[in-house]
Structure 1
Amino acid sequence: MNPHEYLDGGTVRVASPTYAVCRVDQAPASCFAVVRDETETTAVVDQADGVPDGATDVVRDWKRLTFEMELPFELVGFLAVVASELADAGVSIYALSSYSTDHVLVAETDLDAATGRLETLGCTVA
């Protein structure tokens, strides 16, 4: 399987909310995503809902790009292609994956550069 085949003609949707990524003790139920490991809990929250009480190390003003395509577990290198292309444009990403879909968060100031690069890969940005 070639990642470029999924990107070419695939849809990338820019979510309306602007997000904050923060370290928390307790993630609120309303957050978009939670990542927990042995040492910390990270929450991705809609800034309009406010940053959770007690949140530390808050980084604000992220936009979410969702790859609206079902990506099989056997697909190798999809996120590597996306990350490399955006890195070449000087765009830092925060990557998240659900069961079958990938998301990347990019700084709001980098949104135009990110979407432009994804369009060069053949994606339709909506």
Structure 2
Amino acid sequence: MTNKRLILTLQPDILAICRLDPATQISADMLKGNFVAITKTDEELSIIRPQENIPDEVIYTKGWRCLRIEGPFTPGTTGILAAVLSPLADAKLSVFTATTYDTGHVLVQEKNLNLAIQILAQAGHTVRSENKATAPHAIQ
């Protein structure tokens, strides 16, 4: 695990984690938003996206907030997600993750957002909202 102090930025959208049949065609509407992540396996298609306008036939959970770990990091960098996930897991907070080539994204339920930010600050990380650093126990 890395001892590096990380900077995370709270993303603006409230997100839904959607589960679809793997054969589902993805509409352009499903791709709208500041943050959309798609993962497909032979068993399911998962899309993380803003929670507005989810089609009725989609299974989903809503009310998630995304903290982007500021990078970029090379794919060979180790311990970045662990440095963020370990303190949240120790506090028994449920998380969902998505990674890109350059960085990672950690989703926490909106009802747990302030607690997650406090825990991350106590672990030595900085959480930003609107490009401003937060105080150790609150979002500015």
**TM-score w.r.t. structure 2 length?**
0.78
**Kept in 1: contact 2:96–2:107 (CA 8 A):** yes
Q: 1:91 deviation in Å?
A: 0.9
What's the C-alpha RMSD, in Å, of the aligned pairs? 1.6
CA-to-aligned-CA distance 1:15-44 (integer Å, 9 cap, x gap):
111001011233323261111011110011
Question: Which residue of structure 1 aligns with residue 127 of structure 2?
Answer: 125
**Kept in 2: contact 1:13–1:66 (CA 8 A):** yes
Question: Which residue of structure 1 aligns with residue 70 of structure 2?
Answer: 68
**Kept in 2: contact 1:89–1:113 (CA 8 A):** no
Could you say which structure has the higher helix fraction? 1
Identity among equivalent positions (%) equals 29
| Alignment length (residue pairs) | 120
Question: Which residue of structure 1 aligns with residue 54 of structure 2?
Answer: 51
Alignment of 1:1-126 (within 5 A): 3-5=2-4, 8=5, 10-24=6-20, 25-27=24-26, 28-30=30-32, 32-48=36-52, 50-56=53-59, 58-126=60-128
Q: Distance between the aligned counterparts of 2:43 and 2:91, measured in 1?
A: 32
Question: Which residue of structure 1 aligns with residue 136 of structure 2?
Answer: none
- Amino acid across the alignment from 2:78: V
Gaps of 5+ in 2: 129-140
**Kept in 2: contact 1:45–1:51 (CA 8 A):** no
**TM-score w.r.t. structure 1 length?**
0.85
Q: Distance between the aligned counterparts of 1:80 and 1:68, measured in 2?
A: 15
Gaps of 5+ in 1: none
